[in-house]
């Protein structure tokens, strides 16, 4: 706190202290280097920590100067063995959207949600999940949503167009011509919008390609001959998944992104509808009515599968894991390498869409809210090489 030293010099008194007011307790008086100038301290303890915020055994001072000892027990490592559901644990959720949420996306610190009944884009802060703003109505149920270059694009039913909104304030920009039927798949890549959906023969059931800038039609693929519910783009190819109608031996089609010519088909997956598609590390993952299947992306040969036990509406990859969501109301976390189950997470209501960002997974669907879940990230112990997870308390 500083010091004041009394030194007798030539029969007089000289103060040689170096304390200043900001290092002396508030209200306490002292003399620094001038015996005729009494000073008053201004130092206060103004921290806001409580014992529960400080690690157990560590000491600190309260606002009144009392020395306290922390009681916080730090997160403890848990090995990857076992089935600890805290590895995909609930954090918080948004307010209700006003209907089932069918599609979500996360970008630039915000979550964007679209769905049924409400039929608008709603924007929430990613950090605290507080509502930010809402767009005008799409004019039908929003079934697909994508974000690119400062714009939000949505597609769906009734309206059957792709509508474009400013990402910042959700103001309407424009729309494409009608796709002619319900839009389920919507992706943006290389300056183009790709859509796909369901409908009558010759209407829908094909990939439509539009210019991202002016929303004008560029090209249409040939009829897929089945209703289309999912779409994914990677390495110059567009993948679409559908119903695999009786007598049509296909559930997934692979098309050249440039001219939309058919490259190959994945054979019908036991007659199941393909609701979600993703790729990672040269593998293609297909979520269907009950199983997640893994194929080599290049030649579309089958590798392995995981039985989820209900319709898989969404699956995403992160840090060597796949998060599989759908009719079971919670995400399953499985190893990407062998599709073995690690753990089941927490959720409520059928999950129609999911996204992952900053170590958190966001799920939405029949619960009418966006839920934020924590996903534990493994680290390796440098001494024994064992993988561990930090589990939040």
Q: Flag whether 246 is in a domain.
A: yes
Using the CB atoms, write b or e for 116-129: b if 16+ within 10 Å.
bebbbbbbbebeeb
Counting Cβ atoms within 10 Å, is residue 307 exposed (0-12), middle (13-18) or buried (19+)? Answer: exposed
Q: Flag whether 326 is in a domain.
A: yes
- State the Cα angle at 154 between 148 and 160, rounded to 5°: 140
**163-166/172-175 β-pairing:** antiparallel
Looking at residue 57, its pLDDT comes to 76
Looking at residue 250, its pLDDT comes to 62
Q: Flag whether 1 is in a domain.
A: no
In order of 132, 137, 200, the CA distances from 220 in angstroms are 37, 27, 15
pLDDT tens figures, 121-149: 999 999 999 999 999 999 999 999 999 99
Q: Which of residues 69, 90, 109 is at a domain's end?
A: 69
Are 107 and 45 contained in the same domain? Answer: no
Q: Return the bridge partners of 318, or none.
A: 321
Cα(206)–Cα(199) distance, rounded to whole angstroms?
Answer: 9
Are 57 and 95 contained in the same domain? Answer: no
Domain with 25 in it: 6-69
Q: Flag whether 75 is in a domain.
A: no
Cα(284)–Cα(274) distance, rounded to whole angstroms?
Answer: 12
Looking at residue 380, its pLDDT comes to 43
Are 153 and 268 contained in the same domain? Answer: yes
Q: Return the bridge partners of 333, or none.
A: 323, 343
Cα(242)–Cα(239) distance, rounded to whole angstroms?
Answer: 10
- State the Cα angle at 358 between 355 and 360, rounded to 5°: 55
Looking at residue 86, its pLDDT comes to 39
Q: Flag whether 74 is in a domain.
A: no
Structure tokens at 28: 């306490």
Are 167 and 33 contained in the same domain? Answer: no
Are 62 and 87 contained in the same domain? Answer: no
**Side-by-side strand order, sheet with 122-125:** 101-107, 110-115, 122-125, 131-134
Q: Return the bridge partners of 232, or none.
A: 239
Are 30 and 89 contained in the same domain? Answer: no
What does the radius of gyration of the chain's CA atoms come to, in whole angstroms?
A: 30
Cα(107)–Cα(166) distance, rounded to whole angstroms?
Answer: 13
Q: DSSP for 77-106?
A: EEESSS--GGGEEEEEEPPP-SS-EEEEEE
User: Locate tokens 């509808």: which residue?
Assistant: 273
Looking at residue 12, its pLDDT comes to 53
Which residues of the chain carry a pLDDT beneath 50? 1, 4-7, 9, 74-86, 378-393
Are 236 and 348 contained in the same domain? Answer: yes
CATH of the domain at 282: 2.130.10.10
Looking at residue 199, its pLDDT comes to 79
Are 250 and 323 contained in the same domain? Answer: yes
Q: Which of residues 20, 44, 69 is at a domain's end?
A: 69
pTM for this model (two decimals): 0.74
Q: Which of residues 45, 69, 93 is at a domain's end?
A: 69
Cα(195)–Cα(374) distance, rounded to whole angstroms?
Answer: 32
Are 215 and 166 contained in the same domain? Answer: yes
Are 197 and 52 contained in the same domain? Answer: no
> Are the C-beta atoms of 301 and 289 separated by less than 8 Å?
no
Q: Return the bridge partners of 164, or none.
A: 153, 174
The CA dihedral of 168, 171, 175, 180, to the nearest 10 degrees, is 100
User: Locate tokens 């039609």: which residue?
Assistant: 217
Are 148 and 221 contained in the same domain? Answer: yes
Are 97 and 207 contained in the same domain? Answer: yes
Looking at residue 160, its pLDDT comes to 94
Q: Flag whether 108 is in a domain.
A: yes
Within 8 A by CB and 6+ apart from 237, the residues are 254, 255, 256, 257, 263
Q: Flag whether 306 is in a domain.
A: yes
Q: DSSP for 285-316?
A: EEE-SSEEEEEETTT--EEEEEE-SS-EEEEE
pLDDT tens figures, 79-105: 333 344 335 678 889 999 999 999 999
**142-148/151-156 β-pairing:** antiparallel
How many folded domains does the chain comprise?
2
Q: Flag whether 84 is in a domain.
A: yes
Cα(365)–Cα(371) distance, rounded to whole angstroms?
Answer: 9
């Amino acid at each position: 706190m500083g010091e004041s030293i009394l030194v007798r010099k030539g029969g007089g008194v000289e103060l040689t202290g170096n304390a200043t007011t900001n290092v002396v307790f508030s209200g306490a008086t002292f003399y620094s280097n001038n015996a005729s100038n009494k000073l008053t301290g201004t130092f206060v303890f103004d921290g806001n920590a409580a014992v529960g915020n400080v690690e157990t055994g560590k000491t600190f001072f309260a606002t009144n100067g009392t020395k306290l000892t922390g009681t916080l027990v730090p997160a403890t490592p848990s090995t990857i063995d076992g089935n600890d559901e805290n590895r995909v644990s609930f954090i918080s959720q948004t307010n209700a959207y006003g209907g089932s949420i069918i599609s979500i996306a996360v970008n630039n610190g915000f979550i964007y949600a679209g769905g049924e009944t409400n039929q608008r884009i709603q924007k929430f802060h990613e950090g605290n999940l507080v509502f930010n703003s809402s767009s005008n109505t799409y004019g039908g149920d929003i079934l697909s949503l994508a974000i690119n270059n400062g714009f939000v694009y949505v597609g769906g039913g009734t309206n059957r167009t792709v509508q474009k909104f400013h990402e910042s304030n959700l103001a309407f920009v424009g729309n494409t011509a009608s796709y002619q039927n319900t839009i389920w798949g919507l992706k943006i890549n290389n300056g183009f919008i790709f859509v796909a959906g369901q409908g009558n023969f010759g209407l829908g059931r094909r990939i439509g390609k539009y210019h991202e800038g002016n929303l004008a039609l560029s090209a249409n693929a040939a009829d897929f001959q089945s209703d289309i519910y999912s779409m994914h783009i990677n390495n110059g190819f567009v993948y679409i998944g559908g119903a695999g109608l009786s007598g049509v031996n296909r559930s997934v089609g692979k098309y050249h992104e440039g001219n939309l010519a058919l490259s190959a088909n994945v054979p019908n997956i036991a007659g199941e509808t393909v609701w979600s598609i993703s790729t990672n590390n040269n593998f293609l993952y297909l979520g269907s009515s009950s199983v997640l299947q893994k194929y080599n992306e290049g030649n579309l040969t089958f590798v392995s599968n995981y039985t989820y036990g209900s319709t898989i509406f969404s699956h995403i990859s992160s840090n060597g894991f796949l998060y599989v969501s759908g009719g079971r109301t919670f995400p399953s976390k499985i190893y990407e390498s062998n599709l073995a189950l690690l753990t089941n997470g927490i959720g409520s209501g059928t999950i129609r869409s999911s996204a992952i960002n900053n170590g958190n997974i966001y799920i939405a669907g029949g619960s009418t809210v966006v839920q934020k879940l924590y996903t534990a990230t493994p680290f390796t112990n440098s001494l024994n090489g064992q993988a561990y997870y930090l589990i939040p308390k």
